[in-house]
Chains A and B, each alone.
Chain A
Amino acid sequence: MITRTQLSYLDWGLIVLLILNTLIGIAAIYSSSHYLDGNYAFKQFIWLLVSLVAIFVLISFDYNILVTYSIYLYIACLFLLVLTLMFGNLIAGAKSWIKFSFFQIQPSEITKIALILLLARIFSEFKAKSVRIIQVFASTTVIFIPFFIVALQPDLGTATSYLFILAGALLLAGINKKVLILFLVAAVVFGSLGWAFFLKDYQRVRVTAFLFPKEDPLGVGYHITQSKIAIGSGGLLGKGYLRGTQSQLRFLPARHTDFIFSVIGEEFGFIGVVAVLMIYFLLLAGIFKSVGKSRDRAGVYIIFMVAVMLSSQFLINILMTIGFFPVAGIPLPFISYGGSSLLTNSLAIGLILNIKMRRFVNL
């Protein structure tokens, strides 16, 4: 399965950056939840260990095998998503979880890996300068089936992140004007239909609150305002670890998950935030630099889609905490609390390691 030579090409830098970012996350999770029941920081640490083991299992299979069988993985994920929708546990108003005796998983997260592999398969056969309608149609269908199921849970945040994976693949394949116009028209039509028929009331409120936060100071806009106050009051140096007055707080509903960045901003200040951004940037840069380190087209697509997935989630989450994006329920990859999310993102990094290890043909 795996040779000694391949193992010598393992990119330890990415692994170290993954661990470093997760540890930063665990420290922030502890700060925002140590007074609650649930031992979140410890659980996240266990999930980190599980994720590392999962990575080493993943890299022992050639990624081409995974790409070949990606359609089955995809079907299995759809099956799980439907199952979750029918029998899942209702947490924070959404049926996104399947509960086991001592842990729970969120199938919508793991689905991202299946989507990346399947899209890589669709696009790897394709060598023209810009994308063909048939591929746009195939890839869009592949994405929108899970998108609708997950949006029904309703977890619009995770569903939206699927769109970024699709966008990444299309960008790489080359979008011409015709396709772009097609998408814009579709977006407007489906967007307005969705607004009218599909969005839940609370989701509409979130969007209006984002657009007009002052109208609704104690509603959803309130959370954005509170998050900004937390970050802003951190100043240059922050209030100190475990000493954030806003984030030892109940102003933010999901301070160890979606609003973890506000906690970091308040307790470590501008210096701390820039340091965290820098360490994160190193990880993303490492991934983008890896895009070329593949022996085939499928590998390039996979690495690039992972890069886009992580960058978009990271940017959207932070923009959300500072009021530049609607509260969408997208976690900060590796930093927010959440086992399924950490495992999925780690597996995504595992795919990159897998591809880089096998980049030399005939080895």
Chain B
Amino acid sequence: MTNNIYEDLSLILRRSRRIFIIVQLAFVLLILILWKIQIIDYKKYWGLSEANRLREISIPAQRGIITDRNGKILAKNVASFKVSLIRENCSDLKLSCIRIAELLDLELDVLNQRIEKYKTLPEFHPIVIKDNLNSEEVAIIESRKLELPELLLQLEPKRNYPQAAFASHVLGYVQELSLSEINLEKYKEKKLGDLVGKTGIEKRYDARLSGKDGLLIETVDSLGRSKERIQNRPPISGENIELTLDFEVQQKCEELLDGKEGAIVVLDPRNGEVLAMASYPDYDPNRFINRFTPDEWLDLVNSTEYPLENRATRGLYSPGSTFKPAMLLAALDSKTITEKTSFFCSGFIKIYGNNFYCWNKGGHGSVDIYESIQNSCNVYFYQLGKILKIETISEYAQKLGFGIITGIDLPEEKSGIVPDPDWKMRVSNTPWYPGETISVSIGQGPFLVTPLQLSVYTSHIANRGKKSVHPHLLLKLSGPRPGSLDINESSFEKVVEGMWRAVNKGGTAWAAHINGMEICGKTGSTQVVSRETAERLAKKNIVVKTHSWFTGFAPRKDPAMVVTVLVEYGGTGGTTAAPIAKEIFKFCEHLQ
């Protein structure tokens, strides 16, 4: 077997053959062992495998309770029954579905869709097929426990909002995690079928509120009876959350808004606490916790009145005349005018070849800085706008809190728009026209703010710029340290005097006047359509109402609350928003 050119390897090849024989013997031995296990002991192992089923049950954690600042419960949990299907225990899944659909009065299609949706889960994993069971359904399932080992009846804490629609936009609601969300990083601890906060406080503080689900793993027999617990990790309840909201103030605000579209914000300017935040129309969050109401849900989402939108943080409106104090502040602080500066109002003024009108066609005559606010004279501010540059106006608008989010602890807040030449170039690639500055001077044009931003702005005035305001809803919040606004305090005092006169000296906000209460405020009426359109419509006897604003604070010295009211299509600020604000100030008098 060897020749000269190859070396003699016969010895090691012989050794290799011996080892191969050992391997062959091992294979034979292996087959014999498998014969013993799979053929001879088959019955024993088959029995063990039948008896040997594992069940994994997630024990839902109690979601944290949400209360107002005085401990009034706004969101809690109530016990509720849910029933789940364990596919592993079905002898025939299709047949089971048909029986169960009939038994629990479910639509077979809906049931099948749901099972299809969760088909990637292991077979032993319970799929929730109906929740919010009534006692009759619980009895039916309980009595057929032995016939239907595939059903698992469980108690779960269900989210409940005892005050129904109360503060619904602030609280938000919980809903089942959708398939598209389950892969997001922030939900990596969650399982399919878990309920998570979808908006509002429920979403913003979901991690704190949700706690950690417990896990029970047990072996069960073929009838689903528990045999042995392998793992039992108890659930950890979520944190309770105390809000800055004052139940009674909030309730009053909601009553006052009832039937209108709009928003009310009540802030404490001293610390940024939100005492009330109402938005209308509202909705009852209790209706969404149920896992199975897609149609009703879509109705709400698609409603033209946008009941799900929180108008206080997401509604964008022109500030209108409520912006005039900011204009005066900018002019005084930048030394563009002095406290002696007056302008003449004849009812209109021609600037850059166009006529700009005052709301008072008769004109205000000679108007000083205080009267400009008191009577909300447009012509005064047109002229102020002409001598102030748009850059100065937008700089002060931003300093006072417009154009950026307030940073409130609610998701998806809108930042609004403070228009300036850069902004216009960015969005429309056209240069700024001087005439646009004139519109911005009275809070019109592409200028957009949220009611909350307006409240923050008024809080800054109330604080005379000495500290910035960070609105928040969590009572115990260590937010950023308030800094000052870098605007001269004496300029603020003059603006405050104007706002005081607007309410107390027969100004445009007279409707908010209360004897014995030192309220300072400013109304606004925002044109929703252009003047030309409005005049054209007026000829046809169609009156398009303006959005109605009021924003103000009390008392004048050491202000303790800021009230902002917006009513969509409410007419002028003085006729609709100011009287509502008056009610709120009156109701809150004790808070001073």
Contact = CB atoms under 8 A, between A and B. Distances in A.
A binds B: yes
B11 interface: yes
A266 to B, nearest CB: 8
A297 B9 contact: yes
Given A229-B52, A297-B9, A300-B16, A315 B230 contact: no
A261 B440 CA distance: 77
B122 A273 contact: no
B34 A265 contact: yes
B20 A277 contact: no
B517 interface: no
B120 interface: yes
Contacts of A292: 9, 13, 16
Given A248-B123, A281-B27, A297 B34 contact: no
A87 interface: no
B45 interface: yes
A251 B48 CA distance: 13
A324 B33 contact: yes
Contacts of B49: 229-230, 232-233, 245-246
B430 interface: no
Interface string B6-42: 1101011101110110011011001101110111011
A206 interface: no
A296 interface: yes
Contact of B48 (A171, A233, A236, A297): A233
Given A250-B124, A296-B7, A315 B30 contact: yes
A35 interface: yes
B34 A172 contact: no
B16 A288 contact: yes
A291 B42 contact: no
A174 interface: yes
A294 B48 CA distance: 51
Contacts of A213: none
B185 to A, nearest CB: 15
Nearest to A362: B5
Given A236-B38, A246-B52, A296-B7, A35 B122 contact: yes
Interface in A219-236: 226, 228-236
Contact of B42 (A35, A233, A315, A362): A233
Question: Does more than half of chain B's interface fall in helix, strand or loop, or is it mixed?
Answer: helix
B20 A171 contact: no
Contacts of A307: 16, 19-20, 23
B45 A231 contact: yes
Nearest to B11: A129
B23 A288 contact: yes
Contacts of A281: 24, 27
Question: Does more than half of chain A's interface fall in helix, strand or loop, or is it mixed?
Answer: helix
A35 B121 contact: yes
Contacts of A270: 34-35, 38-39
Interface residues of B, number: 44
B46 A233 contact: yes
A335 B13 CA distance: 29
Contacts of A311: 23, 26
B16 A291 contact: yes
B257 interface: no
B6 A269 contact: no
Interface in B72-129: 88, 120-124
Given A229-B49, A277-B27, A311-B23, A265 B15 contact: no
A361 interface: yes
Contact of A35 (B13, B48, B120): B120
A172 B33 contact: no
Contacts of B52: 226, 229, 246, 251
A233 B51 CA distance: 11
Contacts of A301: 12
B425 to A, nearest CB: 40
B78 to A, nearest CB: 33
A297 B31 CA distance: 34
Most chain A C-beta atoms within 10 Å of own C-beta, residue among B11, B12, B15, B53: B12
B442 interface: no
B581 interface: no
A304 interface: yes
B54 interface: yes
A187 interface: no
A295 interface: yes
A235 B122 contact: no
A223 to B, nearest CB: 12
B328 to A, nearest CB: 59
B44 interface: yes
Given A35-B122, A246-B49, A274-B31, A308 B19 contact: yes
Contact of A322 (B7, B12, B24, B37): B37
Contacts of A245: 49-50, 53, 88
A269 B38 contact: yes
Given A245-B88, A284-B23, A232 B31 contact: no
Nearest to A270: B38
A159 interface: no
Given A250-B122, A315-B26, A236 B42 contact: yes
Interface string A274-306: 100100010011001001101111001100100
Interface string A62-73: 000000000000
A185 interface: no
Given A297-B7, A318-B30, A172 B122 contact: no
Given A35-B120, A251-B54, A322 B46 contact: no
Contacts of A361: 5-6
Interface string B469-510: 000000000000000000000000000000000000000000
A249 interface: yes
A249 B49 CA distance: 11
Given A235-B39, A294-B9, 14 more contacts: A35-B120, A171-B15, A232-B37, A232-B41, A233-B45, A236-B42, A270-B34, A270-B38, A284-B23, A292-B13, A292-B16, A295-B6, A308-B19, A324-B33
Interface of B: 5-7, 9, 11-13, 15-17, 19-20, 23-24, 26-27, 30-31, 33-35, 37-39, 41-42, 44-46, 48-50, 52-54, 56, 88, 120-124, 228, 230
Enumerate the 6 nearest inter-chain pairs by beta-carbon distance, A residue then B residue, closest first: A232-B45, A233-B49, A270-B38, A288-B20, A233-B45, A235-B42
27 contacts: A226-B52, A229-B48, A230-B49, A232-B37, A232-B48, A233-B42, A233-B46, A233-B48, A234-B38, A245-B53, A245-B88, A248-B123, A249-B124, A250-B54, A269-B38, A273-B34, A274-B31, A274-B34, A277-B31, A288-B19, A292-B16, A307-B19, A311-B26, A315-B26, A318-B30, A322-B33, A361-B6
